[in-house]
């Protein structure tokens, strides 16, 4: 279980479509999970997450910071040796934090049903949903956790949100990962149009990891490609429904040019607590 994860990254160049201008995206994330045992079969899940993305939303515009603060509150329940569940609420405030109001508050959450086939293989089935400035976003979650018999090869999958494949070489680990989810941020600055940012996030990366303190402290250097698109729309314009990568009833008017994807470099520090029997809760959607 990952109790604490901190990351900082930056893209090298993101071009605006049909424009000679470009921007860079600087990101910072911190994610804390604090489990509290209630009984032999029930664990209270608490914690929080914070993210900051800094970029230009329009060609030659000032840089804007898009911030999100998420609380975690849920319950993990073990029914028997094979079946368990995790249900977590994820209320958040997401905007530029200039003039915070109730319009910047969104409610999300996820639910997972897990089937433990062995100490080295766990299947996951569930769903994630959240209210956003553009409407309701949801996605099913199908995945698994697998650890090879020699403990070197690991797969941690929660598709289509995240995936991680890695191989341990001892003091170092090499791997590749993916993360993708839809998010939004309200723009509340005085004397500016009433708009919001619709972020479609897709990040693919390879990484090298240094394992310290018996693999409890992990230091990662990641290099990859980000196709994150920061689309600006007038407040009040929504889609009918968002399901994974699909949008239904989308007749919104985009105000800024599309932002192209770009290569990025990222550094992460992770504090991981190892359970005697793997029952991983670290793969929850991050806001």
Residue 284 has pLDDT above 70, yes or no: no
pLDDT digits (tens, 9 = 90+) for 36-76: 999 999 999 999 999 999 999 999 899 999 999 999 999 99
The three-class DSSP label of residue 254 is coil
Give the C-alpha separation, 152 to 168, whole Å.
Answer: 5
How far, CA to CA in Å, does 26 sit from each of 9, 161, 181, 185?
6, 21, 18, 16
Could you say which DSSP state residue 285 is in?
P
Residue 276's pLDDT band (cuts 50, 70, 90):
low
Comparison of pLDDT for 246 and 97, the residue scoring more = 97
List the beta bridge partners of residue 196. 186, 233
- The full set of domain ranges for the chain reads 2-272
Encode pLDDT of 71-92 as tens digits: 999 999 999 999 999 999 999 9
Stretch 272-286: mean pLDDT: 56
Three-class DSSP category at 274: coil
pLDDT for 25: 94
166 forms beta bridges with: 154, 175
**pLDDT tens for each residue of 225-234:** 998 889 999 9
What digits encode the pLDDT tens for the residues 126-168? Answer: 999 999 999 999 999 999 999 999 999 999 999 999 999 999 9
Provide the sign of the torsion angle of the four alpha carbons 8, 17, 58, 193, taken in this order: negative
């Amino acid at each position: 279980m990952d109790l604490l994860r901190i990351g900082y990254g930056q893209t090298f160049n993101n071009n605006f479509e049909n424009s000679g201008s470009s921007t860079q995206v600087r990101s910072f994330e911190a994610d804390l999970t604090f489990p509290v045992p209630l009984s032999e079969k029930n664990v209270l899940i608490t914690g929080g997450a914070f993210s900051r993305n800094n970029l230009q939303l329009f060609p030659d515009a000032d840089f804007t910071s898009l911030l999100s603060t998420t609380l975690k509150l849920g319950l993990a329940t073990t029914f028997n040796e094979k079946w368990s569940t995790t249900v977590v609420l994820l209320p958040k405030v997401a905007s530029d934090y200039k003039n915070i109001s109730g319009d910047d508050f969104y409610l999300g959450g996820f639910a997972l049903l897990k089937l433990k086939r062995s100490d080295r293989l766990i299947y996951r089935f569930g769903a994630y949903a959240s209210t956003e400035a553009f409407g309701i976003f949801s996605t099913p979650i199908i995945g698994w956790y697998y650890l090879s018999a020699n403990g070197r090869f690991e797969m941690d999958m929660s598709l289509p949100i995240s995936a991680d494949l890695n191989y341990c070489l001892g003091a170092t680990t090499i791997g590749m990962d993916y993360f993708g989810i839809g998010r939004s941020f309200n723009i509340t600055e005085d004397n500016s149009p009433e708009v919001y940012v619709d972020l479609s996030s897709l990040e693919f990366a390879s990484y090298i990891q240094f394992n310290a303190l018996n693999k409890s402290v992990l230091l990662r250097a990641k290099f990859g490609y980000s196709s994150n698109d920061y689309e600006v729309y007038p407040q009040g314009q929504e889609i009918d429904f968002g399901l994974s990568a699909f949008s239904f009833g989308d007749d919104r008017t985009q105000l800024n040019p599309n932002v192209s994807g770009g290569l990025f470099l990222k550094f992460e520090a992770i504090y991981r607590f190892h359970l005697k029997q793997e029952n991983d809760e670290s793969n929850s959607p991050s806001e």
